[in-house]
Amino acid sequence: MPPLEPLSREERSTRFERRVADFLGKMEDFDHKGAEFERGRGGSEGGRNYPLLMATWKVAPALAAGCTAVLKPSELASVTCLELAEVCKEVELPPGVLNIITGLGSEAGAPLSSHPLVDKIAFTGSTETGRKIMTAAAQLTKPVSLELGGKSPLLVFEDVDIEKAVEWAIFGCFWTNGQICSATSRLLLQESIAVEFLDRLVAWVKNIKVSDPLEEGCRLGPVVSEGQYEKIKKFISTARSEGATILFGGSRPKHLEKGYFIEPTVIRDVNTSMQIWREEVFGPVLCVKTFRTEEEAIELANDSQYGLAGAVISKDLERCNRIAEAIQAGIIWINCSQPTFCQAPWGGTKRSGFGRDLGEWGFDNYLSVKQVTQYVSEDQWGWYSSPSKL
């Protein structure tokens, strides 16, 4: 039998195009759509800084999507979540739809990640815990969404109104006692205004009322636990030993002998290798560095393992938009810091996690998409030769 002559490139192309045309001609024989369905049982673990808020960010979209939910609140802040359970009973939410489990993470939280009957995990907390959850969930190829730590930058340019910018700088770091993953705790100042800006910053910080949170006018309360209190003091001590300057604060307020109170702390003379620049403190500690050019500011802003948030303050809106695009983070504020809206997506990049809470993005966390295709023609499919025609 003589060898077959190989097809030329043109002949191969023609044959392929004919086959594609034959197939496309049959496309009208099908009706297809995308369908969304609930994932099933959702496991949620919330943060200690906004325990009730974080719970509702996770539970509300899960229930709205038709899932049942198991919520494990922080062992340091569980009471408001138990109150949420009481509210659910009052409105006659059916038993078993929302389940709340309290306890230590290793005992109450970890089993959610590894349990085969929990179909999805949503977590807000530290990057270290997020890694453990990913590892456990990966054994079951279980989907996760993680909102983790941050070390977010605030870039301030020389054209700003200094008083307005100073207030945003202290609000962005000291709001909720610095216990916020999106805190803009790395302040980047354009060199030409640094001296004046820091003078005004210290004056504003000295004026912050540190007190029992139930006192009228309180603007800074205690941190959540003794362990966190000691951890923050260690961060400050290490910064000092590494050569940074404590411009203000760093100690217990003299008028508060009890409780886990730390003065709002401002640290300057920081370099990018210092622990205080690179690691999340989760307390009222602001570190400061200067820059000369926009390009340098962006480089410093992105010099982080985290990518949760970032902010820029300038009267030049074109510059603000350039920087908003250039900063590697999931949340960007322009001429402000920390406002959050339920309609807007919330989440980070890099080691700040992945997935989004809030808005339609948060709802999508608890849905899965399937393709449904129906053959609607009355004709034989006709791909194979029928035995009756042989």
Nearest to 205 by CA among 138, 285, 125: 285
Cα–Cα distances in Å, from 261 out to 27, 102, 178, 270? 69, 26, 12, 24
194-206 helix and 162-174 helix, angle to the nearest 10 degrees: 60
* Residue 17 annotated among the catalytic residues of the structure: no
Contact 136, 113 (CB under 8 A): yes
List 45, 147, 280, 294, catalytic entry: 147
Q: Which residue type sits at 206?
A: K
Token pair, residue 179, equals: 């216990």
Amino acid in the structure at residue 99: N
Which secondary-structure segment (H or E) carries 121?
strand 120-124
Collapsing DSSP to helix, strand or coil, 36 comes out as: strand
End-to-end CA distance of the chain: 25
Q: Provide the pairing of β-strand 144-147 with 353-354.
A: antiparallel
Three-state secondary-structure class, residue 387: helix
Residue 250, Ramachandran bin (φ over 0: left; ψ between -120 and 50: alpha; else beta) = left
Whether residue 336 contacts residue 136, with contact meaning beta carbons closer than 8 Å, is answered with no
Alpha carbon distance 365, 144 (integer Å): 9
Altogether, the residues listed in the chain come to a count of 390
Tokens of 136: 């456990």
The answer to whether residues 304 and 151 touch, using CB atoms and an 8 Å cutoff, is yes
Position 317: which residue type? L
Residue 217 burial (CB < 10 Å; 0-12/13-18/19+)?
exposed
Q: Which residues are catalytic?
A: 147
